[in-house]
Amino acid sequence: MVLGICPQHSKRFLRALTKEKLLEAKHSGPRLCIDLSMTHHMSKKELSRLAGQIRRLYGSNKKADRPFWICLTGFTIDSPLYEECVRMNDGFSSYLLDIKEEDCFRLFPLETLVYLTPDSEHALEDVDLNKVYILGGLVDESIQKKVTFQKAWEYSVKTARLPIQEYMVRNQNGKNYHSEILAINQVFDILSTYLETRNWPEALKKGVTSGKGYILRNSVE
């Protein structure tokens, strides 16, 4: 923080700094795609939840020391989801991100893509600035098994899952409920924290809420 900036300037200064960091990410990575090509199956309630997740994800990204460049793909401005995003996200039209009608498989070289899906057998080991990470824009209610995995497989794109099984264990709970399916903003918080700390346990603690039925291995003692 630069010293001697009076409060009304500091706000403007911080906004400018955020903008600079976001635009820097566009050129040098890391990059994250939200694949919104599957939203036509979704109900109004699910679209609202997804719009809320996009808002939270963007809010977290703006605060990050090392933000991602976000690209919303398979996204048309005459879609019900776009209307929800405008309704629920203040200033959505001026968000610093890319909105593309094409889907991610046509926008980027396939060898740079990594589709993050809980169905992958490969655990994500690191965040590579030369890769483009893809999250499927689905919410819990509309998730059919392996939709995103199937899509990546059709295009011969690499997949990875968050290393939940490697660093966490199932916590005994009354409902006997355990799920590795996270909201896109929760996945984003994990990736962002990992990029900052290079520490998977710390990153997973940030995004895997206790309601998912998992806790870090070392907290079992």
Contact status, residue 160 vs residue 114, Cβ threshold 8 Å: yes
Q: Tell me: domain 23-162, CATH 2.30.40.10, correct?
A: no
Distance (Å, rounded) from C-alpha 103 to C-alpha 85? Answer: 18
Closest CA to 51 of 22, 16, 92, 17: 92
Closest CA to 110 of 141, 78, 140, 153: 153
Q: What contacts 58, CB < 8 A, 6 or more positions away?
A: 70, 89, 95, 97
Which DSSP symbol is given to 123? B
Q: Where are the alpha helices (DSSP H) in 1-118?
A: 7-28, 44-63, 80-88, 104-107
Closest CA to 142 of 13, 27, 38, 12: 38
Tens digits of pLDDT across the chain (221 residues): 445 555 566 888 888 888 888 888 888 879 999 999 988 878 899 999 999 999 999 999 999 989 999 999 999 999 999 999 999 888 898 899 999 999 999 999 999 999 999 889 999 999 999 999 999 998 865 556 688 889 899 999 999 999 999 999 888 776 667 778 889 999 999 999 999 999 999 999 988 887 788 889 876 54
Could you tell me the two tokens for 211?
């309601």
**Domain ranges across the chain:** 23-162
Distance (Å, rounded) from C-alpha 170 to C-alpha 94? Answer: 41
Q: What angle do CA 21, 191, 187 make, to 5 degrees?
A: 120
Closest CA to 171 of 216, 202, 218, 215: 215
